[in-house]
Structure 1
Amino acid sequence: MTSHEDIDWSAPEVAAHYDELPLWSAPFGLMLLARVPLHRGQSVVDVGAGTGFVTVELAQRCGPESRVTAVDPWAAAMERLADKVAFLGLTNVDVVVASAEDLPLPDASVDLVVSNLGINNLDDPPAVLHECARVLRAGGRLVTTTNLVGHMEQVYAAYRSALSDLGLDDHRHALDAQEQHRATVASVSDQLTVAGLDVVDVATDVFRMRFADGQALFAHWFVRLGFVPGWRSVVPDTEADRVLADVAARLDAVAAEQGALELTVPMACVTAVRR
């Protein structure tokens, strides 16, 4: 199993290669793009834009009369997005390095706010949603996607078995908390309501990620980037390598029995309107 590597998010090469992860963000992004209002001349904000998958698509799909503002505190990703915008010759995109908790936009100035796997990964989602509501005009829409509780449940089942067999059941609560911290449709809807937004549409689906086995899963660049640090944090660092090796072996056995390792990821796209 590939050993853990610390990721320096400020390094330009991380952002430069982040676009190699479309199989993670694309199912959510396509779900979002199928539901956003597409009108010429509208003002759009992409919160947690990253390297700009949704930003670039909306800038083109809504026509040059529209204005899309990409907001993210990740400066290296914003530089990567700016390069893409320049290469594509897009003149209707503003790239802004800023916190989503303090959007640099006037009140009631935006027609559409989108966030593809953005808001749920920020430190203070309620504060971000209040900011989104602040900048939206009355009747403006927010469309956001998120992964849901039950995400990669196959990995968590193997992890629970590993903790039990290795005599580390004391850390079961940390694993359960990590698994259950993800959103539900109800929790997202409640946050939107509190922020002053009325939910008008909810779409749910499940997509599947397939790997040859557990070893391939743990060696995958995106898994090491986005999930391995969290999985390691469940147990003391002195135990992490042993536990994750055991989890990988259990997933290898599942793959051998089923012909491949298939992980399920439940997802939701929620649309809300500013009151």
Structure 2
Amino acid sequence: MNYLKDIIDFDKNMVCYYDELPLWSSPFGILLLNNIHFKKNSIIVDIGCGTGFPLLELAQRFGDSCKLFGIDTWEKAIDSANNKKKQYRIKNVELIKGNGENMPFKNTCVDTITSNLGINNFDNPDKVIEECYRVLKPYGKLVFTTNLYGQFEEFYSVFEEVLRDLNLYNEIQKLTTHIAQRYTLESIKLLVGKHNFSVNKVVKDNYIMKFVDGSTFLNHYFIKIAFLPDWKELIMEENWNEVFSSLENRLNEIASENGELVFNVPIAYIECEKK
């Protein structure tokens, strides 16, 4: 009953962390939280934990009988997660700077491994899945969420039109390759299957991002952080201004005709079991 005496002070430290959650991560994390099985006395590892979501939420929902570990290569994110852990008074979490390819755990000691949006960002997904198999107990669970092939399909269609109008056919091929790198449910099943995991549960959903026009879309901070660098790599630097100016104008025209821009992001929760 200690929680009855635990008075939360909304001081400057709590203000720093109260709403610190990337909006992009939230629908995927909610999908994970709604579908993962909660069990006492579990050991859970979250790969690519970032600044602590959904790791710290999972820790509070699993409770003190469970031990959770968060792993990420981003040192500043680990620092932030540790600060939030302290601020939220969470005692069952340990943060580790590292990656999923080489986890500091003994063989067959972990009950569940989670990853929110990690699989598309792993440098070597095969190695990560192989490592997950090593550390999981027999019949242990590998649970993750991801965005799927078809993300921003409306945007990429316009992107291709612009490149075609500018006769940039090599860039169209690069764009096609870029889009094809996104996982489908079938390719995910093949990936985990060859490492002796069976897929027990799949929950599909769709996340919508709406913008008033193309200018606001291309200037959104997360688009500039997470997507624009890859899009720029598809185009020779000498053509950046022409391509992106045309792309922005075309998106603005579509928004003017339709009243807004709507981009779909198909997402999925995948639960796998070690055979």
TM-score by length of 1: 0.91
Q: Which residue of 2 aligns with 1:234?
A: 234
State the Cα distance separating 1:238 from its structure 2 match. 1.2
Tell which deviates more after alignment, 255-264 or 240-249: 240-249
- Alpha-carbon offset, residue 236 of structure 1: 0.4
Work out the CA distance in 2 between the residues paired with 1:253 and 1:200: 44
Q: Which amino acid aligns with 1:247?
A: L
Amino acid at match of 1:198: S
- The aligned counterpart of 2:179 is 179
Structure 1 equivalent of residue 137 of structure 2 = 137
Letter in 1 for 2:66: S
Is the 1:162–1:246 contact (alpha carbons within 8 Å) kept by the matching residues of 2? yes
Cα distance in 1 between the residues matched to 2:241 and 2:227: 14
Q: Which residue in 1 is equivalent to 2:38?
A: 38
Residue segments in structure 1 that go unaligned for 5+ positions in a row: 1-15
The 3-state SS of whatever aligns with 2:101 is: helix
Residue 54 of structure 2 aligns to a residue whose secondary structure is: helix
- SS of the equivalent of 2:35 reads coil
Q: 1:8 aligns to what?
A: none
Moved more, 222-231 or 237-246: 237-246
Cα offset, 1:189, TM superposition: 0.8
Corresponding residue for residue 122 of structure 1? 122
Distance in structure 2 (CA, Å) of the matches to 1:273 and 1:66? 19
In structure 1, what is the Cα distance between the partners aligned to 2:20 and 2:219?
A: 15
Q: Which residue identity is paired with 1:205?
A: D
Greater Cα radius of gyration, structure 1 or 2: 2
Query: C-alpha offsets along residues 18-46 of structure 1, whole Å, 9 cap, x if unaligned?
Result: x7663211111111111111112210000
Q: Which runs of 5+ in 2 are unaligned?
A: 1-15
Tell me the SS of whatever aligns to 2:81.
helix
3-state SS of paired residue (1:53): coil
SS of structure 2 residue aligned to 1:100: coil
Q: Does the 8 Å contact 2:21/2:53 carry over to 1?
A: no
Cα-Cα RMSD? 1.4
Trace 1:135-174 onto structure 2 (pairs within 5 A).
Answer: 135-174=135-174
1:209 shift after superposition? 0.3
Aligned partner letter, 1:222 = F
- Number of residue pairs matched by the alignment: 259
Higher mean C-alpha displacement, 215-224 vs 25-34: 25-34
Q: Structure 1 counterpart of 2:127, which letter?
A: A
| Aligned amino acid, residue 77 of structure 2 | A
Aligned match of 1:250: 250
* 1:43-100 deviation digits (Å, cap 9, x = unpaired): 0000011111111111000011111100011111111100000111111000000121
Instruction: Give the % identical residues.
Output: 35
**1:9 maps to what in 2?**
none
- SS at 2:95 equivalent: strand
Which of 240-249 and 255-264 deviates more? Answer: 240-249
Aligned position for 2:29: 29
Contact 2:70 2:93 in 1 (8 A): yes
Q: Give distance in 1, aligned partners of 2:23 and 2:251.
A: 21
**Contact residue 202 and residue 270 of structure 2 kept, 8 A:** yes
Q: Quick check: 2:50–2:77 contact (8 Å CA) kept in 1?
A: yes
Q: Does 1:90 align with 2:110?
A: no
Change (3 A) 1:268 1:113: same
User: Helix, strand or coil: the match of 2:107?
Assistant: coil
Task: After superposition, give the CA deviation of every residue in 1:139-165 in whole Å (9 maximum; x if it has no partner).
Answer: 111111111111101111111111111
Contact 1:70 1:93 (8 Å CA) reproduced: yes
Contact 1:47 1:119 in 2 (8 A): no
In the other structure, the counterpart of 2:210 is: 210
Letter in 2 for 1:31: L
